[in-house]
């Protein structure tokens, strides 16, 4: 049994999400998609990834409804891979990974790229409670266990989208 199949049997949303988007190539494809890359060859050239690996990752992203295929009017029927609303919901995750890497891999002041909001200020992602607006930090979280569905059922539903 592979790692993805093992996670699908777990009842943890983190494990389920990792089984869908948790490998490095998938995250880098998503990064490039957020930066405006749309075509297979542009992903391949920019990432330096093997065609078979890229094709498999894009197929999985489409299968799970994270990306959709659209026609590129400018290139005679070539396909574009476009983020869906489900895919765009991954933006805070990638922004958080970038912020973590900026601090813990490169160090403050040595970041390879600066993320700037439309107001002109540096972006430092923070999580806040939707109800009270307070910051959510380590130690603030309490987990309430519910009668959970099997993650495999949730993944099957995600594939059906």
pLDDT over 60 (residue 95): yes
Model confidence pLDDT, tens digit, residues 10-31: 678 888 899 899 999 999 999 9
What's this model's pTM, rounded to 2 decimal places?
A: 0.80
Task: Identify which of 64, 82, 62 has the alpha carbon closest to the alpha carbon of residue 8.
Answer: 64
Alpha-carbon distances of 161 from 97, 118, 122, 155, rounded to whole Å: 26, 32, 35, 10
Alpha-carbon distances of 1 from 16, 84, 154, rounded to whole Å: 15, 30, 19
Q: Do residues 48 and 39 lie in contact, with contact meaning Cβ atoms separated by under 8 Å?
A: no
**For the chain, which residues make up each domain, given as ranges?**
3-89+149-159
* Greater pLDDT, 145 or 142: 142
Task: Classify domain 3-89+149-159 at the CATH class level.
Answer: mainly alpha
Q: What pLDDT does 147 receive? A: 47
């Amino acid at each position: 049994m592979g790692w993805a199949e093992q996670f699908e049997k777990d009842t943890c949303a983190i494990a389920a999400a990792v089984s869908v988007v948790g490998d490095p190539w998938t995250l880098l494809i998503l990064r490039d998609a957020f930066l405006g890359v749309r075509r297979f060859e542009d992903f391949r050239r920019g990432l330096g990834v093997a065609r078979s690996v890229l094709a498999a990752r894009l197929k999985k992203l489409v299968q799970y409804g994270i990306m959709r295929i659209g026609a590129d009017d400018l290139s005679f029927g070539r396909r574009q891979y476009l983020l869906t609303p489900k895919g765009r919901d991954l933006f805070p995750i990638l922004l958080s990974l970038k912020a973590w890497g900026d601090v813990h891999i490169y160090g403050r002041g040595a970041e390879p790229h600066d993320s700037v909001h439309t107001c002109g200020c540096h972006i430092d992602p923070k999580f806040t409670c939707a109800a009270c607006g307070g910051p959510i930090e380590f130690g603030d979280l309490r987990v309430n266990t519910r009668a959970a569905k099997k993650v495999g059922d949730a993944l099957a539903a995600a594939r059906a989208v």
